[in-house]
Amino acid sequence: MAAQTSARRRREPEAQAEAVNVPTAAKILGIGLGTAWEAVKSGEIPSIRIRRTVRVPLQPLRKMLAGDTRDDA
């Protein structure tokens, strides 16, 4: 039981994250990982690079899913 509680605690911050990694973004969008990486590299999927880490902000991802293509930046 303790291991199960510990595992839940480790997942909680990710559940409340403002950005996800590219594989998670691909799952959210329902596309393949290769397609997601290509879209990130081309700028079609907005992303943030911090050193060697790439994250996809959830707010623009949600707008994409809603069909909102406006660039409010």
Task: Give 48-69 pLDDT, tens digit per residue.
Answer: 999 999 999 999 999 988 987 6
Q: Which tens digit of pLDDT belongs to each residue from 3-22?
A: 555 555 555 555 578 999 99
pTM score: 0.69
First vs last Cα of the chain: how many Å apart? Answer: 46
- Tell me if 2 is assigned to some domain: no
Number of domains in the chain: 1
Structural domain harbouring 40: 18-73
- Residue 1: inside a domain, yes or no? no
Gap between the Cα atoms of 46 and 56, Å rounded: 6
Looking at the domain assignment, is residue 7 inside a domain?
A: no
- Write the CA distances from 15 to 7, 21, 24, 38, integer angstroms: 13, 12, 11, 25
Q: Tell me the pLDDT tens digit for each residue of 24-42.
A: 999 999 999 999 999 999 9
The token pair at 36 is 């997601």
Residue 56 in domain: yes
State residue 15's pLDDT score.
57
Residue 51's CATH number: 1.10.1660
